[in-house]
Amino acid sequence: MDKLSNDPLHGITLEKILMELVDYFGWEDLGQHIPINCFISNPSIQSSLKFLRKTPWARKKVETLYIRMKG
């Protein structure tokens, strides 16, 4: 029997989340919502992914913003 996940992020990669947030907000607005250097100073998808994968509190903020954006 297959169980459906209650996790709203199930099956969504961090890269997809970040790309959708950047498409929706742009780097400048994203940096205002979540003021971290990788969004403010010379932002790129790759540098942001590297930081977010190593920094659980920042990743949580990104995931929370994504869920709110989709909700």
Question: Does residue 9 sit within a domain?
Answer: no
- The answer to whether the beta carbons of residues 36 and 51 sit under 8 Å apart is yes
Say how many residues make up the chain.
71
Number of domains in the chain: 1
Mean pLDDT per 10-residue interval, the chain, length 71 residues: 74 96 97 96 96 97 96 84
Question: Does residue 4 sit within a domain?
Answer: no
Question: Does residue 29 sit within a domain?
Answer: yes
Q: What is this structure's pTM? A: 0.90
Angle at 35 between CA 34 and CA 40, to 5 degrees: 115
Distance CA 59, CA 71 (A): 18
Distance CA 25, CA 2 (A): 36
Q: What is residue 36's predicted lDDT score, i.e. its pLDDT?
A: 96
Range of the domain at 62: 14-70
Angle at 34 between CA 32 and CA 37, to 5 degrees: 90
Q: CATH number of the domain at 48, please.
A: 1.10.720.30
